[in-house]
Structure 1
Amino acid sequence: MSLTLAIVGRPNVGKSTLFNRLVGKRLALVDDQPGVTRDLREGEGRLGDLRFTVIDTAGLEDATDDSLQGRMRRLTERAVDMADVCLFMIDARTGVTPTDELFAEILRKRSKHVILAANKAEGAAADAGVLEAYGLGLGEPIRLSGEHGEGMTDLYAALMPLADAIEEKQAEDAPETDIDLDEAGETEGEAPAITAAKPLQVAVVGRPNAGKSTLINKILGEDRLLTGPEAGITRDAISLRIDWNGTPMRIFDTAGMRKKAKVQEKLEKLSVSDGLRAVKFAEVVVVLLDAAIPFEQQDLRIADLAEREGRAVVIAVNKWDVEEAKQEKLRDLKAQFERLLPQLRGAPLVTVSAKTGRGLDRLHEAILRAHEVWNRRIPTAALNRWLTAMLEQHPPPAPQGRRIKLRYMTQAKTRPPGFVVMCSHPDKMPASYSRYLVNGLRDDFDMPGTPIRLTLRGQGDKNPYKGRRKKNAGALAKHLRGRA
């Protein structure tokens, strides 16, 4: 995708609605309330046979200070500088406002290619606004309706010649190489689990103001996400593709998750729901805690959610640079972790500072380690030898005088590791014995912290020869009588 298209305009002109239509998914949050979008969101856009990168931006505000609106504007201006083409949207029903005129002048100076679009242009009520748009001096406006999909053909016609010109220029500027594509491919043998085509999916979750966006900005090495002292700045679950220390990753920055009772506004409910969806798509979930107030009830709920979803979990404690008694605090954190989250016993606990970047290498190693354990597969022979030793060490109970027999064990799946034990009376197996087996798997096969699923399955009467002799004898007697 050679073309990058940034959608810019005032708040509530329909940028996110059009973004969702171009990418073909409901990735960006959409609401009637203005100013929903705050961060830059990228997606793979599609119009007919044209493929391009599309960027959804925050609404342009007339603010240049360090306020939230000013920081949002600077982020949008950065997107304008990054993009090959800017799609400047106005609200055709509202008409051209003084703010539109101001930003049209800015785009005329900063962007090489600007396409003017009058959104919400369905019906005769938008005719006056479309005519006013000519006065901005950006050429003929395209009548669009992002909600109803009108005007997509006109948008395609405007983008196609620009895409061709940009692609030709990139081809001319590209350096010539003598690399043999056959030799540049992967070596024979098993392909690596993490590649540029299939990057490691990592979601960063936590309470509001824990420092999630600041941490991801530090990993990226640039201020790509909006940050600040205000709690709850992030609303969308923003995904970013990066190469972190040689590991291709897609990192999801999520909205802070408060207690359910405190979430009243519809927009915050949408933001939390978007974050929960990111957890379900992730492979490794980094639960970010604030060192000043770690392991609050909401932190425990978030970590438990990631475990129940079957994701590999890494606990990261942020703002470690301001801690004074670090060793004593770390001992307390580990003790609290063991006591409050026994279902994640052995999961990595890493101290970091999103502000200074301390501890990021340890966090990278912990993520890779958690992912490796999450994908681990154990041979069936080794599992059954281990099961025999566990039964000898601590036999299963005998409810109502009948011993539960554990006959066979195998690993049914990975991501997370899932095991099946064939046994008699699986419904009578106490939960304490299942925990005994799960903890043994963690310790003996080096699988700390990862969720482990253990399923007990009854064999029933599986003897294939039972009743065969009687049936065969009857058939033989009948055959002999027929011959006689």
Structure 2
Amino acid sequence: MTFTLAIVGRPNVGKSTLFNRLVGKRLALVDNQPGVTRDLREGEARLGEMRFTVIDTAGLEDATDDSLEGRMRRLTERAVEMADACLFLIDARAGVLPTDEIFADILRKKNAHVILAANKAEGKAGEAGMIEAWGLGLGEPIALSAEHGEGMGDLAAALAPVAEEMASRPSPEPETDVDVDQGAPRIPTREKPLQVAVIGRPNAGKSTLINRLIGEERLLTGPEAGITRDSISLAFDWDGTPTRIFDTAGMRKKAKVQEKLEKLSVADGLRAVKFAEVVVVLLDAAIPFEQQDLRIADLAEREGRAVVVAVNKWDVEAEKQQKLKHLRDGFEKLLPQLRGAPLVTISAKTGRGMDRLHAAVMRAHEVWNRRIPTAKLNDWLAEMIAQHPPPAPSGRRIKLRYMTQVKTRPPGFVVMCSNPEKLPDAYSRYLVNGLRENFDMPGTPIRLHMRSQADKNPYKNKTKSTPSRLRKHLGKGRADE
């Protein structure tokens, strides 16, 4: 049985740098300015032969009110209570500050296993801080350098008793998943859950929505725009569906994104979209379908992800029926490439519409994985050609000979035809719209490629003299006999 380790400490002592070192990836955003991390980020860590879950937390601030710092502190204290062990990190170069002494007393009461480590201890600059750390009453401090990887062996030795204690506890019975036929659409399992990313503009309610879905205040929320910075992924059971959901930073217009930290946050969110299978584009009911919303939805379509549009804060909307009609008309007009994609009205604050959102996500995932038999495709293609034949540039009609589906996730099709470069885009859109309508694939991105079919006639390009030479050869053979 593995254990959970929470890394806590003042802002800018190197918690996220150590987190990235332990997980072996640059998952957490790192910057010189304090207070970059705000939410709890989990990762699978490896230290020698030891495997465990590590939690990166927000910097502990001396605030207990409802300010942003106070809410961040409460979230960090909650992580300490749920973790099996706690790594209290101080800055060896700055030494022990009064706030370190306050937090050391708090940690001693909240967690039985508290390990003290002094980061940035490389060289002589950290020697004084190492000596001061003894005064915190948390035992012998470990000298670390998260940036250079020094002291990892001492950290592993300090974690060994925790690992042994957790290994002695009985493990819960593993849940077995039903075997899935390889030809059928993928069914989410515990090992490979459904990947869902929630994206949108700042203050649309993404973190509030995810907190509502998982049933706990796991992500930091508030009236301030742009609270979320890292793309946080959380695993949970969504109405019986094993799911991993990604919370992303709000995406503003590119021209407004000037600070380095915001650029890193947006890049992290774009990376989450690439990992996702279904993308929930969250809109604010008060200001839906702004230019940035359209760009975000178009981004998800270009990445080939199944898209669900959710309109949040529907509980405060007065004219619901009129607003819903306006939303649907605008969606069809402004995003024709996602025609038919699910549009769901929800309230993350009250929990209204969560069942509809789950149904829409599962429906979009099923369509995204759909495979159509080749025989049905070619019968359909013949009907489409009969209804609307392809054009005839320069008097020679383009022939569409054969069609097949070459991939799913998203559905991709290839049509073998003559002169594919001369087929106009309008005819390709005609076929894509027909696929959506006739095979019930609304909203999902569809990739249609026109490909030239080489003529396999073996006598093509042969000269007319070939038969005469063959007769001459046969006649010479008879003479020799």
When normalised by structure 1's length, the TM-score is: 0.95
Within a 5 Å distance, the mapping from 1:101-116 to structure 2 comes to: 101-116=101-116
Alignment of 1:182-331 (within 5 A): 186=178, 193-331=187-325
Uncovered stretches (5+) of structure 2, i.e. residues with no partner: none
1:56 is aligned to 56
In structure 1, how many angstroms separate the alpha carbons of the residues matched to 2:465 and 2:258?
Answer: 71
Q: Work out whether 1:401 is the aligned partner of 2:407.
A: no
Letter aligned with residue 253 of structure 2: K
Where structure 1 has 5 or more consecutive residues not aligned to the other structure, the ranges are none
Say which of 440, 459, 464 aligns to 2:434. Answer: 440
Equivalent-residue separation in structure 2 for 1:474 and 1:91 (angstroms): 92
The DSSP-based 3-state class of the residue aligned with 1:90 is strand
Moved more, 121-130 or 264-273: 121-130
Pair 1:25–1:188, CA change in 2 (3 A):
closer
Q: What is the alpha-carbon distance in structure 2 between the residues aligned to residue 368 and residue 439 of structure 1?
A: 22
The 2-side partners of 1:209 and 1:78 are apart by 24
Alpha-carbon distance in 2 for matches of 1:53, 1:470: 78
* CA displacement at 1:162 relative to structure 2: 1.4
Distance of aligned partners of 1:407 and 1:91 in 2 relative to their CA distance in 1, 3 Å threshold: same
Asked if the contact 2:180/2:187 (under 8 Å) is kept, the reply is no
Q: How many residues of Structure 1 are paired with residues of Structure 2 in the alignment?
A: 476
2: CA distance between counterparts of 1:432 and 1:113? 66
Matched, 1:92 2:92: yes
The CA distance in 2 between the partners of 1:475 and 1:376, in whole Å, is 54
- The change in CA–CA distance for 1:479 and 1:135 in structure 2 (over 3 A counts) is farther
The amino acid across from 2:313 in the alignment is K
CA 1:300/1:185 → structure 2, altered by over 3 Å: closer, same or farther? closer
Equivalents in 1 of 2:426, 2:3: separation in Å?
Answer: 58
Letter matched to residue 85 of structure 1 = A
Q: Secondary structure at the match of 1:354?
A: coil
1:397-476 matches, cutoff 5 A: 397-466=391-460, 474=469
Q: What letter is aligned with 1:222?
A: E
The residue aligned with 1:26 is: 26
Alignment of 1:330-369 (within 5 A): 330-369=324-363
**Secondary structure class of the residue paired with 1:388:** helix
* Residues 233 and 244 in structure 2, CA contact (< 8 A), matched pair in contact too: yes
AA partner of residue 53 (structure 1)? T
Q: Which one-letter code corresponds to 2:48 in the other structure?
A: G
> Which secondary structure does the structure 1 equivalent of 2:377 belong to?
helix
Matches within 5 A, 1:366-377: 366-377=360-371
Answer yes or no: is 1:17 the counterpart of 2:17.
yes
State the secondary structure of the residue aligned to 2:321: helix
Q: Which residue pairs with 1:66 in the alignment? A: 66
CA separation in 2, counterparts of 1:130 and 1:479?
100
Rounded to whole Å, the distance in 2 between the matches of 1:188 and 1:406 is 36
Q: 1:389 aligns with which of 372, 383, 399?
A: 383
Q: Which amino acid aligns with 1:38?
A: R
Taking a change above 3 Å as real, the CA distance of residues 259 and 156 of structure 1, as seen in their structure-2 partners, is same
**1:455 positional shift:** 0.3
Deviation at 1:480, TM superposition (A): 6.2
With over 3 angstroms needed to count, the CA separation of the structure-2 counterparts of 1:478 and 1:193, relative to structure 1, is: farther
Distance 1:261 1:319 in 2: 27
Q: Rate the CA distance shift 1:93–1:314 in 2: closer, same or farther, 3 A.
A: same
Query: What amino acid does structure 2 have at the position aligned with 1:266?
Result: K
Which whole-Å CA distance do the structure 2 matches of 1:338 and 1:188 have between them?
A: 36
**Aligned partner of 2:447: which letter?**
R
